[in-house]
Chains A and B, each alone.
Chain A
Amino acid sequence: MTVTDPGLTDLFWEAVGRRELVRPVCGDCGRNFFTPQVACPACLSENWAYERSDGRGRVYSATVVHKPPSPGFAVPFRLGIVDLDEGWSMLAELVDGPDGRLPAIDAPVRVTWIEREGRVLPAFTEDPA
């Protein structure tokens, strides 16, 4: 698997291992961005750091995957793009909420955690609150 630059993303995955979601925030212009880049895509400053996310946002788009992309995936599963309230977005699996519902486009969601092949990953679930 290609790691963009281990120095850029180690802290993200270390936080995920602690079930904590973080994202890059620019120390100069305040921009949130994802995926992590060498410099802030708004002002090109390298002065950015990971900050903890509250993990709440909305589903920007969602689909159901019926064909397994690789052996570790049980199908069907729901894949989405989530827009976090802090102004960044990420690709992640969408999973059942407390009432069993799978989040649809525009549904409010919050981060939760799943394990796949022994690895903790962020996922998002419907957030009725």
Chain B
Amino acid sequence: MNLSDVAIVGVGLTPQQKRSDRNSLQVALDAAKLALADAGLHHTDLDGIAARWPGPGGTVLAPGSADWSTLLGVPLDWIGDSYPQGVPALVDAAGAILTGQATTVLITGGQAGVLGGGRVAAYTQPGNEFVAPFGAFTSAHFALVAQRHLARHPHARQGMAEIAATIRNVGSANPEAVMAGRGPYTADDVLAAPPIVDPFTLLDLCLASEGGAAVIVTTLERARDLPHPPIVVLGAGMEWLRQQYVDPARYEQTWTIGAAAARKAFGQAGLGPSDVDVAQLYDVNSLEVARQFEALGFCGPGEGTDFARATGIGLDGKLPTCTDGGLLACSHIGWGGPTLKLVEAVRQLRGECGDRQVAGAEVAIASGAGSGAQYYNLALLGRAR
């Protein structure tokens, strides 16, 4: 079997909210049930799981953490809990399925009942002794990369604002988005929004919201008997440069993170950037979207914002990007955030996105992490032929 013999057959998205009255385990379970129903499967059909709550090592190694095997009442053949979300979990699940360790894997996660208000979200501030005393947090690490980029390419600031406005306006029109009905936004609105950490204003940065997201992965053969058109994994790649948010990210090392992963993924798929119909890029901030266009080979170095403007990344553009409104306007649910990208990619490829559907979407990118995080991953997904 090949990677493309593995398919996503179910997706589940709980209500995405600024603050939820559920807890993180509840939303992960809610998302799992929605994904099972979507896949036409029962939880006893699962034999593998990649999930996190509240930390890694839950099912086997962390007494008191969520034991998914007990929770679902299913003895599992395979567990992936080192990075159980988004593309890395999809790749791990595919590996388990292709090596015969599991046939049907649930990937679920999210956060709820954890966010306070007024300050930087606690989960973005590692309590490390060489980070916390200096006041760094996730967006500050990305900002330290961005500042060196903007010192070389000052014109990118305007393009960043245009990207943020475009994606936020897409989210405004998505009734499932946390920011549904907000806006419309212009680039000037983004530039004039309250500064958070230079160069980013509030509107350049992703949300910190609550909710759950899940996907179910199985063999293409099994997928053909299930209700939805199977969405297969055409290719994938990952890069792990360094542990996130401890040693600060250096621009020269991290600006192009993802280039090697993209070469691998496109190579596996036999495709190139021009074949991508929808791009569910990991938009933790506006500049990361432009950076990924450069790193993934859509354009040359320093051309990311110009590419976005010339190509059009809104729903009416040539490369609709973050078609649910992304992390910027739909939702960012902490550890579940990377899985949101898989969910929206699958929905677009199935053609079930209603008003935001991109006509003829056959190949999608879903990505995770970025320069400031010092790791990156992406998958190319497509309809099974």
| Inter-chain contacts of A3 with B (CB < 8 A) | 129
Which stretch, B190-198, B263-271, B292-300, B312-320, touches the partner chain A? B190-198
Asked if A68 is an interface residue, CB under 8 A from chain B, the answer is yes
Contact A121 B147 (CB under 8 A): no
CB-based nearest A residue for B145: A61
Contact B151 A69 (CB under 8 A): no
| Inter-chain contacts of A60 with B (CB < 8 A) | 148, 250
Mark interface residues in B98-129 (1 if CB within 8 Å of A CB, else 0): 00000000000000000000011000011111
CB-based nearest B residue for A119: B133
Contact B147 A77 (CB under 8 A): no
Interface residues of A in 74-126 (CB under 8 A from B): 77, 79-81, 89-93, 105, 116, 119, 121
Selected from A4, A9, A34, A77, the residue in CB contact (under 8 A) with B135 is A77
Selected from A63, A81, A90, the residue in CB contact (under 8 A) with B198 is A63
| Inter-chain contacts of B140 with A (CB < 8 A) | 63, 65, 69, 79
Contact A69 B129 (CB under 8 A): no
Interface residues of A in 2-36 (CB under 8 A from B): 2-4, 9, 13, 34-35
Selected from B144, B197, B251, the residue in CB contact (under 8 A) with A66 is B197
Contact A63 B143 (CB under 8 A): yes
The number of chain B residues with a CB under 8 A from chain A is: 34
| Inter-chain contacts of A13 with B (CB < 8 A) | 129
Contact A90 B147 (CB under 8 A): no
Mark interface residues in A35-61 (1 if CB within 8 Å of B CB, else 0): 100000000000000000000000011
Given contacts A63-B143, A63-B144, contact A79 B129 (CB under 8 A): no
CB-based nearest B residue for A1: B127
The number of chain A residues with a CB under 8 A from chain B is: 34
How far in angstroms is the closest Cβ of chain B from A107?
12
| Inter-chain contacts of A90 with B (CB < 8 A) | 130
Contact A73 B135 (CB under 8 A): yes
Selected from A64, A69, A79, the residue in CB contact (under 8 A) with B120 is A69
Given contacts A4-B128, A60-B250, A63-B147, contact A70 B135 (CB under 8 A): yes
Selected from B126, B151, B197, the residue in CB contact (under 8 A) with A65 is B197
| Inter-chain contacts of A35 with B (CB < 8 A) | 130, 246-247
Whole-angstrom CA separation of A81 from B126 in the bound complex: 17
| Inter-chain contacts of B135 with A (CB < 8 A) | 65, 68-70, 73, 77, 79, 93
Given contacts A1-B127, A61-B144, A61-B251, contact A67 B133 (CB under 8 A): no
10 A-B residue pairs with Cβ-Cβ distance under 8 Å, sorted by A, are A63-B198, A64-B197, A65-B135, A66-B198, A67-B197, A69-B120, A70-B120, A77-B135, A91-B134, A93-B135
A residues near B (Cβ < 8 Å) are 1-4, 9, 13, 34-35, 60-71, 73, 77, 79-81, 89-93, 105, 116, 119, 121
